[in-house]
Amino acid sequence: MKELGEVSSYYGNLGVAAVKLRGKLKTGDKIRIQGQTTDFEQIIDSMQINHKKVSEAKKGDEIGIKVNERVRRNDKIFMSG
């Protein structure tokens, strides 16, 4: 699996992960988030850069994505399926 990025923060009250990207990501992509106690897959429904909704992000971007489960700092994000 290709690593796309890493979780830098998690906002539990919003269910949002801040992610530093190492690859390209767009809405509709299926990702897998893995860490010491994290392991789940989900489709990217929406993402934001600086609180603005975007449909695509590239390497180096800091994005916010809505996550279905709790994630932790340093969890890795991979492209799935």
SS3 74: coil
Domain count, the chain: 1
1-31 pLDDT, tens digit each: 889 999 999 999 999 999 999 999 999 999 9
The radius of gyration computed from the CA coordinates of the chain, to the nearest angstrom, equals: 11
**Rounded-to-10 torsion of CA 46, 41, 80, 15:** 30
User: Beta partners for 21?
Assistant: 5
42-71 pLDDT, tens digit each: 999 999 999 999 999 999 999 999 999 999
CATH code for the domain in which residue 33 is found: 2.40.30.10
Indicate whether this model's pTM tops 0.85: yes
Q: Which domain holds residue 23?
A: 3-79
